[in-house]
Chain A
């Protein structure tokens, strides 16, 4: 509809499948957007068909989920094919004040990070609202009201309360270990990516090209490995757990660190009972102060000995809100790490082929900004979800 669509250029119409000759600017045509959109649509549709309300309702949809992912990935490959030959000749810079001379794509990445800040703010706000709005499980346990209201394992009822993941994770050094190692891993990876950028940027002639290629490739590869370690440890922490055998000469006792899911800290945990002992002297004081309320309870289930309440009854808690908030927030962060891994895969491959020169080294910086942002979010997530 717009008539002569090549203006006064007489270059050949470039392929919409890639590779692309960047000397004439960004691609005018690309199959990647429409294919990726279709893939994402299929993925979301089939996931919702396969699962419903936490149960698998249609196993036949599972292969289709993979189909959706494959189509999206295929679209990404087309995108990368067009990008692979990018050598920095087309790196537009801003003309308008006050961004003059900054690379346009760097500005674009910062704009994108602004919206990502809002994503994580929303997740944090959800967490804050629930954590402040619901009573902590520890408080309810210590108040003994669960006894009076019969929210015990025998009665089958559960109390709604908030149980932060830190109750389980921060309870011992071994539990914190995966999270702490992850923090170190991300910080190291931020460092390695900066180093990759630095080596790619070194002016031509100041460093041997083969050395440059190796260094950039190794630093990007290390970042990739560290990101994989991050996700692996996260999966271990969530689903697998780990076992530490007794090591005599270190004075290490054996520890069986159960994963969060195996401890019952799951999104479906509407009848969760704590494994870690909570202080129960308070219960004894309460019982002494309100003998009539606790009467029936003590007649059947518990007794006071030496100022401590001993009981076989177990408080049941509906902690689904706590677990949902925890897993979705840390999971969203993990998804961002995963997307970073996908980007790093492409970049490591490109570095291995010697594709990064001082002319296009700044592309690493764009990814670096995203990666540092992911690290930043972890700096906030780790203390407030894992430690506090």
Chain B
């Protein structure tokens, strides 16, 4: 089993404290008066470290001798997730409005 200490502290305890701190920052950030874009940026910026901390430390993806292949397994769906988000999450129906000018009625004067 991997090292249980980081900076002299038990790694799980340290991880836990770190996560709590980040959550507190998140909640305070939303309560404060930031613009929508700034709020989004902060939220994403905090979600990513939290994600990595839980995956790497609680789920033993960092430091274990099995870590490399399990991390690759965990990251394998990334491509498919990106495809789905791009194709489904970030498109909307634009049957005719999204067509280029030359493909829409009225462009060619007969």
Chain A: residues with CB nearer than 8 A to chain B? 98-99, 101-102, 106-107, 110-111, 113-114, 117-118, 121-122, 124-129, 132-133, 170, 173, 176, 180, 183-184, 187-188, 190-191, 194-195, 198, 201, 365, 368-369, 372-373, 375-376, 379-380, 382-384, 387-388
Contact = CB atoms under 8 A, between A and B. Distances in A.
Interface string B88-110: 11111000000000000000000
B74 A114 contact: yes
Contacts of A99: 66, 69
Given A191-B13, A387-B39, 16 more contacts: A107-B73, A114-B73, A121-B85, A124-B85, A126-B89, A129-B90, A132-B90, A176-B27, A187-B19, A194-B58, A201-B1, A372-B55, A372-B58, A376-B51, A379-B51, A387-B26
Contact of A98 (B15, B43, B69, B77): B69
Nearest to B31: A173
B85 A125 contact: yes
B77 A187 contact: no
B20 A187 contact: yes
Nearest to A129: B89
Given A170-B30, A187-B20, A388-B40, A110 B89 contact: no
Interface size class of B (residues with CB under 8 A): 35 or more
A102 B66 contact: yes
Nearest to B69: A98
Contact of B16 (A176, A191, A387): A191
A160 B85 CA distance: 24
Contact of B12 (A107, A173, A176, A191): A191
B77 A118 contact: yes
Nearest to A193: B58
A45 B65 CA distance: 47
Nearest to A110: B73
5 contacts: A102-B66, A117-B81, A125-B85, A125-B89, A383-B46
A129 B92 contact: yes
Given A114-B77, A380-B47, A176 B30 contact: yes
Contact of B84 (A111, A114, A121, A180): A121
Contact of A184 (B1, B13, B23): B23
A182 B90 CA distance: 30
